[in-house]
């Protein structure tokens, strides 16, 4: 299954995080880990587990009368997919500015800082970026010219 087609809700993501950290957990374990901090009912957590199985994000195996869950998608795949979704909502011309704001807000270690600096030093720039929005979705000049 390709990660970019995965639509993972915020609640489903919380469940997946438990299973990335504790693969082969049964629903009782997931409920114990999430139940108190999230104030979710066990039935809610079971519904989320069921949805993730249906989406092929989790595999389930039955041992005795218990179901055990394991992730079929990696944390990296879900993060990449969420980033692609975020960028798909933003005009291509605003991505650079958005990235700068993300860096500004993120807590970074010296190692993180160095990593970002390395990526930036190797990054090739382009002279122009074309707006990829539907006309009427953003205020860039390309659109204004079209409508005149």
Closer by beta carbon to Zn ion, 55 or else 93: 93
Closer by beta carbon to Zn ion, 46 or else 93: 93
At its nearest, how many Å lie between Zn ion and the CB of residue 10?
27
At its nearest, how many Å lie between Zn ion and the CB of residue 107?
31
Q: For Zn ion, which residue has the nearest CB?
A: 91
At its nearest, how many Å lie between Zn ion and the CB of residue 136?
10
Closer by beta carbon to Zn ion, 119 or else 134: 134
Q: Which residues bind Zn ion (CB under 5 A)?
A: 91, 131, 133, 138, 140
- The three-state DSSP-derived secondary structure of the chain is CCHHHCCCCHHHHHHHHHHHHCCCEEHHHHHHHHHHHHCCCHHHHHHHHHHHHHCCCEEEEEECCEEEEEECCCHHHHHHHHHHHHHHCCCHHHHHHHHHHHHHHCCCCHHHHHHHHHHHHHCCCCCCCCCCCCCCCCCCHHHHHHHC
d(CA 50, CA 56): 10
Closer by beta carbon to Zn ion, 59 or else 95: 95
At its nearest, how many Å lie between Zn ion and the CB of residue 138?
3
């Amino acid at each position: 299954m390709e990660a970019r087609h995965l639509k993972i809700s915020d609640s489903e993501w919380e469940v997946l995080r438990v299973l990335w950290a504790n693969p082969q957990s049964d629903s009782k374990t997931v409920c114990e880990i999430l139940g108190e901090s999230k104030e979710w009912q066990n039935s809610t957590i079971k519904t989320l587990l069921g949805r993730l199985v249906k989406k092929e994000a989790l595999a389930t195996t039955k041992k005795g009368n218990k179901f055990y869950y394991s992730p079929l998608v990696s944390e990296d795949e879900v993060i990449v997919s969420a980033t692609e979704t975020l960028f798909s909502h933003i005009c291509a011309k605003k991505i650079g500015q958005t990235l700068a704001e993300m860096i500004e807000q993120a807590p970074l270690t010296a190692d993180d800082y160095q990593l970002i600096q390395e990526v930036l030093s190797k990054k090739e720039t382009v002279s122009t970026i074309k707006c990829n929005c539907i006309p009427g979705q953003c205020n860039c000049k390309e659109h204004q010219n079209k409508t005149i």
